[in-house]
Amino acid sequence: MKIFDKDNQFYRTIKFLLKVCIALSISLILTHFNFYPLDAFFYDLRMKLKPTSPTSNLIVTVNVDEFTLDQIKREPNIKDHIKFMTELAKSNPKKIIYTIDPTKLNGTNADKQTMATLGEKLNIIFASKVVPQKGLENELQLSYPFNNWNAMPAPRTRESIIFAKDFVTRRLIVSGFGRPTMYTVLAAEFRKDKKQVRGLYEYLETEQTLIDMRPTGTYPEYSFYNVSNSEASILPEDKIIIVGLNEKSDSAHYIRTSYSNNLFAMTTTEMQANMLDTLILNTGFVQSSRFVNFIITSFLALMILFVILSVKPAKGLLAILGLSIGLAIASYVAFAFFNYSINMIQPLIVIFACYYLFIPYRLILESKQKWEFQKKNKLLVQVEEMKNNFMKMMSHDLKTPLARIQGMADIALNDGGGLSTPQRNAISTIKDSSLELSELITSILDLGRVENQGVKLRLTSKDINEVIKKAVKDCEYSAQKKNITLITELEPLFSIKIDEHLIKQAITNLIENAIKYSPENTKVLITSEEIDNEVVVQVSDQGIGIEDSEVDHVFDKFYRSKEVTNKDVKGSGLGLYLTKYFINLHKGDVAVESEIKKGSTFSMNLPLDLN
């Protein structure tokens, strides 16, 4: 056995495994590269399309806004903030978070001391941008007199020099250098469970997660001026209040979000509200691991491999489009309803990479197959020419000598001159053999006409009974040799349009088969009748019968029953095939019923009206 024979199962298995290895290798390489800008694009797209996540309803924001500046005609100073903080206390807040640095406010030392004391009394938390390393915790502490304020690290993130590098805020720092951030500390007070933060991952000595960001305007926002100057408190009670800036004088007071890349897309106070709620509700997004990315990418690569090599190009494109859409839908559902972020870039790249890698391979295979087909077609054309030449030779060069042999044999047999019995038997054998050879040549010529689509009906109105009688007469000699009685039972019939030559040949084939496969001293019955607008001709014998397993094949080209072959009964296997073909040309049909050792009945049905 040749191992590398292309038809060998082992060779095909090796080829398949090689293709699988290529697909897996592409997946493995792709999953070791990061495509942050493209990842960010699909992340933001899903964020925009997903339903807005609910909030904890614990957080409101108060901003020094343009309305405040317009009303007081300046930046709020220490005295303004003292007045503001006094009003804040009336709403009994759970927590007050200041993102405005009090040390940079204008005011006298006495006013600063008053504000510092009031802030200590209200337990104000100063949200510092600093995340100090171990041993440098003093960096968080504000300068005197605000040094007793509770300063906590509350960094904001921008993907500026890492990840997507588009300055969008997508991540929050849960802890840095072993110290929890303000968001983590406050969320722990308000969370209902103590489960681990969702989507936590380590990066440069920090623990981070992806923010469950809401659109701008989700959290209630109040103006600094309105809060300070209202006769009654306008703030809802028992809330976490985040105080900051929204005056658009400095873009540093704002962030870009997944919803908008505008410089003023969202205030830092609302950003911190989103970060804090993400941890309170524990709805951070879990990023799919590298292993999960590899599994998804490998699965798609193998699917593309199967599609490209097994499906037609048009269906292949639809399948690839379906896989891409399926990936997008699965990714969206996981993101929107389970806060699970599936990496889409590597799977999408592998879909198109494998497509453009294996398509040329398929084209090469198809070109090779096309070339082989053309080569075989050329060979078949040559074989067809040889067959046609052979047919012409049999028609002209063989049938004429056979006719002479038959004629001379007839003369010899009819001559009364002293032929001995052995000589007469020998001449009879010569005549019978020449007749068999002539019939074989006729069958092969008819087959050639059929396969070359050269048979055309020449319809004339004929009494089918007359055609049957002629066929019976032609078969009498063969029947007499085996002492077989040919019995005809023909009902009177109207003339129908048929090709007399073809129908006579079909009936003759059925009668000759009945004689050939019947034992001596038996009978063959030929009948005709009209049933349901059809002429039905039946030929019944008392022969050897046909096995049930072979009944469906008796009309196949060159098919001969095993029982017949074992009995050394001569035949070409073309008679019944041609019979069925000629009957089908007349829009009729032929069938057989048989019983072993009891005989067979062949039925030929012809329509009364050929139209």
CATH number of residue 504's parent domain: 3.30.565.10
Inside any domain, residue 47: no
Same domain, 189 and 251: yes
Q: Does residue 27 lie in a domain region? A: yes
The model's confidence at residue 92, banded by pLDDT at 50, 70 and 90, is very high
Whole-Å CA distances, 377 to 383, 388, 498: 10, 16, 37
Q: Are residues 260 and 358 in the same domain?
A: no
Residue 358 sits in the same domain as residue 407: no
pLDDT of residue 2: 45
Q: Which of 603, 482, 488 is nearest to 543 (CA)?
A: 482
Is residue 34 located within the same domain as residue 67?
no
Q: Is residue 306 situated within a structural domain?
A: yes
Same structural domain, 481 and 603 = yes
By DSSP bridging, strand 240-246 and strand 201-203 are: unpaired
Report the distance separating Cα 477 and Cα 428, nearest Å: 13
Question: Domain boundary at 332, 365, 398, which?
Answer: 365
Structure tokens at 122: 């209200």
Share of the chain above pLDDT 90, in %: 39
Alpha-carbon gap, residue 403 to 390, rounded angstroms: 18
Q: Are residues 360 and 399 in the same domain?
A: no
The span from the CA of 342 to the CA of 292, in Å, is: 9
- pLDDT of 417 reads 63
> Whole-model pTM above 0.85?
no
Q: Is residue 4 part of a domain?
A: no
Q: Is residue 49 part of a domain?
A: no
Listed in sequence order, the residues at least 6 apart from 382 whose beta carbon sits closer than 8 Å to its beta carbon are none
The predicted-structure confidence for 221-266, as pLDDT tens digits, reads as follows 999 999 999 888 899 999 999 999 998 888 889 999 999 999 999 9
Report the C-alpha gap between 568 and 574 in whole angstroms: 17
Cβ 142 vs Cβ 103: under 8 Å: yes
Average confidence score pLDDT of the chain: 84
Which has the closest alpha carbon to 549: 561, 539, 541? 561
Q: Is residue 238 part of a domain?
A: yes
CA distances (Å), origin 247, targets 68, 141, 253, 262, 264: 9, 27, 8, 15, 10
**Residue 160 contacts residue 167 (beta carbons within 8 Å):** yes
Cα(166)–Cα(159) distance, integer angstroms: 6
> What Rg do the C-alpha atoms of the chain give, in angstroms?
49
Q: Are residues 320 and 277 in the same domain?
A: no
Last residue of a domain, one of 217, 250, 282: 282
| Bridge pairing between strands 179-180 and 171-176 | antiparallel
Find the CATH number of the domain harbouring 418.
1.20.58
Q: Domain check: are 75 and 224 in the same one?
A: yes
State which of 403, 423, 448 marks the end of a domain. Answer: 448
Residues 584 and 541 in one domain: yes
Q: Per the omega criterion (within 30 degrees of 0), is the bond before 54 cis? A: no
Tell me the per-residue pLDDT of 407-449, one tens digit each, with 9 for 90 and over. Answer: 777 777 777 566 777 777 777 777 666 666 666 666 666 656 6
Structural domain that includes position 187:
54-282
Q: 91 with 203, same domain?
A: yes
Q: Is residue 385 domain-shared with residue 509, that is, in the same domain?
A: no
Task: Give 98-149 pLDDT, tens digit per residue.
Answer: 999 999 999 999 999 999 999 999 999 999 988 888 777 777 889 999 999 9
Answer yes or no: is 48 within a domain.
no
Within-domain flag for 1: no
The b/e string for 301-319 (b: 16+ C-beta within 10 A; e otherwise) is: bbbbbebbeeeeeeebeeb
Token pair listed for 310: 């097994």
When divided into structural domains, the chain yields a total of 4
